[in-house]
Amino acid sequence: MRQQPEPVQVVKQRRDAALAALVSSVPYIQYLGIQFERRGDELTAIMPFRDDLIGNPMLPALHGGATAAFLEITSVIELTWATVWNSIETGLIEPDQIQLGQNLQLPKTIDFTVDYLRSGLPRDAYARARINRSGRRYASVSVEAWQDNRSRLFAQASGHYVMPDVTSPTQG
């Protein structure tokens, strides 16, 4: 007798709960107010505009550090989501058990290069990361950020990461 597949809504709820647990486990994401939307396997990061994100009030323009942090967070969450997803789907980790430093480690940045293409305007920003290569030890990611029009990027970045060893327990 064949087992019935899970209802789509149950799968979606599990995926959304896992993403929410992952994002809430990183305090700096909460500090910047960055949110993530999931559509299928694609994540979009959203950094809602706040006045304290302005770096140059004369223009006004988003602070370069806030932009760089937004791009790096997007790439780290994309990498982590891609690696932890299989553990969640196979039942090794329950979404409500995701805890940074317990059963989850984030990739460590080797280098991260940001290209500031134009001033970030005082409005919401969006970003998507693309994993170029991901192995057991190393990963390469590209990320793009836009505001009103996805074809008019205001920043882009590339980063290289050391991937956590998922075969050994987390060291404190």
SS (H, E, C) 47-89: ECCCHHHEEECCCCEECHHHHHHHHHHHHHHHHHHHHHHHHHH
Residue 170: what pLDDT? 44
Residue 171: what pLDDT? 43
Residue 104: what pLDDT? 77
Tell me the β-bridge partners of 62: 54
Q: In CATH, what number is assigned to the domain containing residue 122?
A: 3.10.129.10
Phi, psi of 136 (to 5 degrees): -70, -30
Strand 138-146 and strand 153-162: the pairing is: antiparallel
The answer to whether 131 touches 78, Cβ cutoff 8 Å, is yes
Residue 172: what pLDDT? 41
On whether residue 2 sits in a domain, the answer given is: no
On whether residue 167 sits in a domain, the answer given is: no
Closest CA to 111 of 146, 145, 75: 75
On whether residue 168 sits in a domain, the answer given is: no
On whether residue 64 sits in a domain, the answer given is: yes
Residue 97: C-alpha distances to residues 16, 48, 56, 81, 136 (Å): 14, 28, 41, 15, 23
On whether residue 41 sits in a domain, the answer given is: yes
Q: Which domain holds residue 145?
A: 8-162
On whether residue 105 sits in a domain, the answer given is: yes
On whether residue 53 sits in a domain, the answer given is: yes
Give the whole-angstrom CA distance, residue 113 versus residue 94.
34
Identify residue 137 by its one-letter amino acid code.
Answer: R
Give the whole-angstrom CA distance, residue 19 versus residue 111.
25
The answer to whether 152 touches 146, Cβ cutoff 8 Å, is yes
Residue 17: what pLDDT? 84
User: For the chain, how many structural domains are there in total?
Assistant: 1
Closest CA to 24 of 98, 88, 84: 98
Give the whole-angstrom CA distance, residue 164 versus residue 146.
30
- pLDDT tens across the length of the chain (172 residues): 677 777 878 778 888 888 888 898 889 999 999 999 998 778 999 999 999 999 988 889 999 999 999 999 999 999 999 888 777 777 677 777 776 766 678 999 999 999 999 999 999 999 999 999 998 899 999 999 999 999 999 999 999 999 987 654 444 4
On whether residue 119 sits in a domain, the answer given is: yes
The answer to whether 61 touches 54, Cβ cutoff 8 Å, is yes
CA angle 22/23/27 to nearest 5° reads 115
Residue 166: what pLDDT? 60
